[in-house]
């Protein structure tokens, strides 16, 4: 089946990270050009080199971008368009958690999670929307998390990831008339290298397996496949949805 992605240009924020890299892999396999935008320039460049090692003819652009900074997003978007052409697809994937029980949480840890997950997504959407609206085609996917349902120690992260679902639904309604779909993906625990390196990984794995109907942890590729579904021709008439990638939880 033709996924309709050949020649499309995709921005992936947090493209130097584990899930971002897997998303890039699948989009490249379908013939898209990808821009890996990340606050960690080295990670973005390493991801680019690793992807090129597997697909030497792929078109990949890597660039520093801090999505909390509107000017940085504008510059990185303009640089992407100069290098690859107009942006058709935006994957708002950059994000992280700063866990602490609410009464002990520092204001800064609340702010940095919300500024990145929620406001960063707002900045990125606003940078690409005018072009998508003009060309009457766009695909936006926001990386939420199963944590949107609420986890102890994650009032900042859970509220930001839940907020992303509201943003997704509201923007889907605003942008639909321009043939722009806006969807979200909500992964459960995903076995990234960072997670596997944690001292308590065995405990986390056992707890997650006990709660998950499917008999394994989620992989970055599982998340990437959900993203691919939304941005490919399979998702052409699907908007304002959230796909849980949780193994049935």
Ligand X SMILES: NC(=O)c1ccc[n+]([C@@H]2O[C@H](COP(=O)([O-])OP(=O)(O)OC[C@H]3O[C@@H](n4cnc5c(N)ncnc54)[C@H](O)[C@@H]3O)[C@@H](O)[C@H]2O)c1
Tell me the helices (H) and strands (E) count for the chain, helix number first.
Answer: 9, 7
CB of residue 130 to ligand X, shortest distance in Å = 21
Placement of tokens 């009032």 in the chain: 155
CB of residue 82 to ligand X, shortest distance in Å = 19
Q: Can residue 65 be called a binding residue for ligand X (CB under 6 A)?
A: yes
The answer to whether residues 204 and 2 touch, using CB atoms and an 8 Å cutoff, is: no
Determine phi and psi for 19, rounding to 5 degrees: -70, -40
CB of residue 39 to ligand X, shortest distance in Å = 4
CA distance 183 to 193: 26
> Residue number with the shortest CB distance to ligand X?
17
The answer to whether residues 63 and 36 touch, using CB atoms and an 8 Å cutoff, is: yes
Q: Can residue 88 be called a binding residue for ligand X (CB under 6 A)?
A: no
Q: Can residue 194 be called a binding residue for ligand X (CB under 6 A)?
A: yes
Give the interface size with ligand X as a residue count (CB under 6 A): 29
Q: Can residue 118 be called a binding residue for ligand X (CB under 6 A)?
A: no
CA atoms within 13 A on the CB side of 44: 22
Q: Can residue 222 be called a binding residue for ligand X (CB under 6 A)?
A: no
Identify whether 101 is a catalytic site residue.
no
> Length of the chain, please?
249
Q: Can residue 228 be called a binding residue for ligand X (CB under 6 A)?
A: no
CB of residue 43 to ligand X, shortest distance in Å = 5
Among the listed residues 61, 110, 157, 230, the single catalytic one is: 157
Q: Can residue 66 be called a binding residue for ligand X (CB under 6 A)?
A: yes
Q: Can residue 128 be called a binding residue for ligand X (CB under 6 A)?
A: no
Query: Maximum distance among all alpha carbons in the chain?
Result: 52
Mask of contacts with ligand X, 90-109, x by CB under 6 A?
---xxxx-------------
* Of 50-58, 87-95, 198-206, 234-242: span binding ligand X (CB under 6 A): 87-95
Mask of contacts with ligand X, 129-148, x by CB under 6 A?
--------------x-x---
Per DSSP bridges, beta strands 60-64 and 180-187 are unpaired
Environment class of 45 (CB within 10 Å of its CB; exposed 0-12, middle 13-18, buried 19+): middle
- Phi/psi class of residue 114: alpha, beta or left (left: φ > 0; alpha: ψ in -120 to 50)? alpha
CB of residue 44 to ligand X, shortest distance in Å = 7
Q: Can residue 182 be called a binding residue for ligand X (CB under 6 A)?
A: no
The answer to whether residues 29 and 231 touch, using CB atoms and an 8 Å cutoff, is: no
The answer to whether residues 219 and 191 touch, using CB atoms and an 8 Å cutoff, is: yes
Footprint of ligand X (CB under 6 A): 13-14, 16-20, 38-40, 43, 65-68, 93-96, 116, 120, 143, 145, 187, 189-190, 192, 194-195
- Residues annotated as part of the active site: 157
């Amino acid at each position: 089946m033709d996924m309709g992605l050949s020649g499309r240009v995709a921005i992936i924020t947090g493209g130097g990270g584990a899930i971002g890299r897997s998303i890039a892999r699948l989009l490249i396999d379908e013939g898209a050009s990808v821009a890996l935008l990340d606050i960690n320039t080295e990670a973005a460049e390493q991801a680019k080199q690793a992807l090129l090692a597997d697909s030497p003819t792929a078109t990949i652009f890597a660039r520093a971008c801090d999505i909390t900074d509107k000017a940085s997003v504008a510059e990185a978007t303009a640089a992407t368009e100069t290098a690859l052409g107009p942006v058709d697809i935006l994957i708002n994937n950059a994000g992280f958690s700063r866990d602490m029980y609410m009464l002990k949480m520092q204001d800064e840890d609340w702010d940095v999670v919300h500024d990145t997950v929620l406001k960063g997504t707002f900045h990125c959407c606003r940078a690409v929307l005018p072009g998508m609206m003009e060309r009457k085609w766009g695909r936006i996917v926001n990386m939420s998390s199963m944590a949107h349902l609420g986890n102890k120690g994650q009032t900042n992260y859970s509220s930001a990831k839940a907020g992303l679902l509201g943003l997704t639904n509201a923007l889907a309604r605003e942008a639909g008339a321009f043939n722009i779909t806006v969807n979200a993906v909500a992964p459960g625990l995903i076995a990234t290298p960072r997670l596997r390196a944690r001292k308590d990984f065995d405990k986390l794995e056992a707890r997650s397996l006990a709660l998950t109907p499917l008999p394994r942890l989620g992989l970055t590729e599982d998340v990437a496949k959900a993203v691919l579904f939304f941005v490919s021709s399979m998702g052409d008439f699907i908007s304002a949805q959230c796909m849980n990638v949780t193994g049935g939880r």
